[in-house]
Amino acid sequence: MKKLIKSLNRKTLIILSVAIGVILISLTVWALSKPAKEKVVHPEKAIAYDQGKRIEFKANSPGLGIIKTAIVGGGGEFVSLEAPARILAVASPSVSNGNRIVLFESSELNDLYVGFVHSKNKAHRSRKNLNRIQDMFKHRVATEKDLVEAETDLGNDVAELAEFEGKLRAQGLNPSELSTGGINKAWIISDIPESQISSLQKGKKVKVNFASFPDEDFVGWAEAVGDNVDPMTRTAKMRIAITNTGYKLKPGMFGTVKFPEETKDDSVVLPYTAIVTVEGRNYVFVEEKPLTFFRREVVLGVSTKERVNIIEGLKLGESVVIQGSILLKGLSFGF
């Protein structure tokens, strides 16, 4: 019996020893095969310096992935500009007698034109009366008082005429054009960008499309550009004359003016997303070298909701940020 117990104890010890050995070997293999703990690399923030004009990113800087750039131009690019317009007046034959009449989009404009015509007639009568009085005074038939009264009447009538003419011109209409234009003529007014004024001299051809005739383009000619530029919108009023074939166009109709598309070999056109505006000034970010961007002020030209022409500040071949400009704006200006 004792021999049996000793034999079992010896076998148990052997089994335990083998088991422990296997466990130790397994732990050793697991420990050796376990990968080393990776070192955590924290993102590095972009640095803005030179008073915020220059921004330098690191390869792992937050937000870097949203920034996209594009090479400026290639020449021959342009922005096709469209501007809203409306018909202020049309000339057409009278229904009753066939004589030429002018119809306006509002009663206020009609009253201004009627007042202009009456004032013009009064000034004409006053001028003839003054000539008559001057002749009579020369031959001692009229008194000096008569002469002064005639001169005063003419001055008042001329001032009244100038007042009505000024009010019509402020609306974009030329009274003399209204009275002498053709019988099938229409006048529309459009607000054009300040940068487009120089290219739209008198006689420049434009296309106009009206909501009432969406599939038809009307050819018009720039008659005049207003003398004043709106300080808020940076636009000026332009009057366009159109031949109203078939008298289809009516006062008050809204349309769109399509300006002539002119290309230049050195033109610079960007997506509008590239522009950031701060305190009325416009900027873009130029990629000086990989991961480094420079803020540069630019002057905008003709623009639409999607693209804008750059007049000053950029050269062809430069790399400009076209996406992610808002991020750079915050880093550059501190907000």
Within a domain: residue 211?
A: no
CATH assignment of the domain containing 114: 1.10.287
In the chain, how many domains are there?
2
Task: Give the residue from 136, 159, 177 where a domain finishes.
Answer: 177
Within a domain: residue 252?
A: no
Task: Give the residue from 117, 145, 177 where a domain finishes.
Answer: 177
Distance CA 154, CA 255 (A): 42
CATH assignment of the domain containing 52: 2.40.420.20
DSSP E strand boundaries for 50-137: 54-56, 68-71, 82-93, 100-104
Local structure of 14: helix, strand or coil: helix
**Do 169 and 109 fall within a single domain?**
yes
**Do 172 and 107 fall within a single domain?**
yes
**Do 73 and 131 fall within a single domain?**
no
Within a domain: residue 293?
A: yes
Rounded mean pLDDT for each run of 10 residues along the chain, 335 residues in total:
52 60 61 59 83 91 89 65 87 80 91 94 95 92 92 94 90 84 86 72 81 88 80 82 89 86 66 91 94 93 76 89 93 85
Res 90: pLDDT: 92
**Do 170 and 112 fall within a single domain?**
yes
Within a domain: residue 312?
A: yes
- Cα angle at 283 between 282 and 285, to 5 degrees? 165
Task: Give the residue from 130, 154, 177 where a domain finishes.
Answer: 177
Amino acid in the structure at residue 140:
R
- List the domain range (segments joined by +) for residue 61: 47-78+265-333
Within a domain: residue 25?
A: no
**Do 172 and 113 fall within a single domain?**
yes
Within a domain: residue 116?
A: yes
**Do 63 and 108 fall within a single domain?**
no
Distance CA 73, CA 102 (A): 48
**Do 111 and 171 fall within a single domain?**
yes
Within a domain: residue 86?
A: no
